[in-house]
């Protein structure tokens, strides 16, 4: 897709049942919620996290926080199956010993989108980000190092895993509004996991 970005089609599909069960457990302890941006907009994507820290946004800003602000408790721990999947994908993409400390979980219902942005709230940009797409297909918008760079569109479908390392780690990206549909296992939604090493 770009230097350092490796698309592994259907890589996570063999683990779909295990992923679905683990997600159900995480969401029962830390329910999906639509967070508010520092600018005061409610995101169309609903989010939760697992791992040592979770990504949060509110009127004060964006940050990684060890505590879920909705429950006041730590985020659910990262299931060993998640950790292993992320490490195996990263290795396949050329990054040995990937040890994520955070997994941001995005839930898109039809119409939800994510505007063009960079992921730069982490401190270690040498570590890749690993993303896992589950459920309904999405149109992924992939730009370059500058917001004004032209974007290309990729269709990400159920089970697709992407390793974002090297220069692509800081490229602008987003998700077009999700088209309606029904996935046999995940129903009327798309779930995206992003594994991050934040420190």
Q: Which residues bind ligand MD3 (CB under 6 A)?
A: 104, 106, 114, 119, 129, 131, 162, 164, 168-169, 171, 173, 175, 192, 194
Closer residue to Fe ion, CB minimum distance, 62 or 66: 62
Considering the rule CB under 5 A, would residue 121 count as an interface residue with Fe ion? no
Single out the segment in contact with Fe ion by CB under 5 A; choices: 49-57, 103-111, 114-122, 156-164: 114-122
∠71-32-15 over CA atoms, to 5°? 115
Structure token pair of residue 52: 């040592």
Considering the rule CB under 5 A, would residue 58 count as an interface residue with Fe ion? no
Considering the rule CB under 5 A, would residue 119 count as an interface residue with Fe ion? yes
Considering the rule CB under 5 A, would residue 65 count as an interface residue with Fe ion? no
| Rounded CA separation 76/73 (Å) | 9
CB of 145 to Fe ion, least distance (A): 14
Question: Residue 167, SS3?
Answer: helix
∠178-195-150 over CA atoms, to 5°? 50
Closer residue to ligand MD3, CB minimum distance, 72 or 180: 180
| Rounded CA separation 69/48 (Å) | 11
Structure token pair of residue 110: 């039809």
């Amino acid at each position: 897709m770009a230097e350092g970005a490796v698309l592994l089609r259907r890589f996570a599909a063999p683990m779909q049942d295990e992923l679905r069960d683990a997600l159900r457990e995480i969401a029962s302890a830390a329910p999906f919620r639509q967070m508010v941006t520092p600018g005061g907009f409610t995101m169309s994507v609903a989010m939760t996290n697992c791992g040592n820290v979770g990504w949060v946004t509110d009127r004060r800003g964006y940050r990684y926080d060890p505590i879920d602000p909705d429950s006041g408790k730590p985020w659910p721990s990262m299931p060993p199956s998640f950790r292993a999947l992320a490490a195996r994908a990263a290795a396949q993409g050329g990054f040995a010993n990937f040890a994520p400390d955070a997994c941001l979980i995005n839930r898109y219902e039809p119409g939800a989108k994510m505007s063009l942005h960079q992921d730069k709230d982490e401190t270690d940009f040498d570590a890749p980000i690993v993303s896992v797409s589950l459920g309904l297909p999405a149109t992924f918008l992939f730009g370059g190092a500058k917001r004004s760079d032209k974007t290309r569109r990729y269709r990400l479908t159920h089970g697709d895993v992407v390793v974002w390392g090297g220069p692509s780690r800081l490229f602008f990206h987003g998700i077009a509004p999700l088209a309606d549909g029904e996935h046999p296992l995940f129903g009327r939604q798309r779930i995206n996991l992003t594994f991050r090493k934040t420190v």
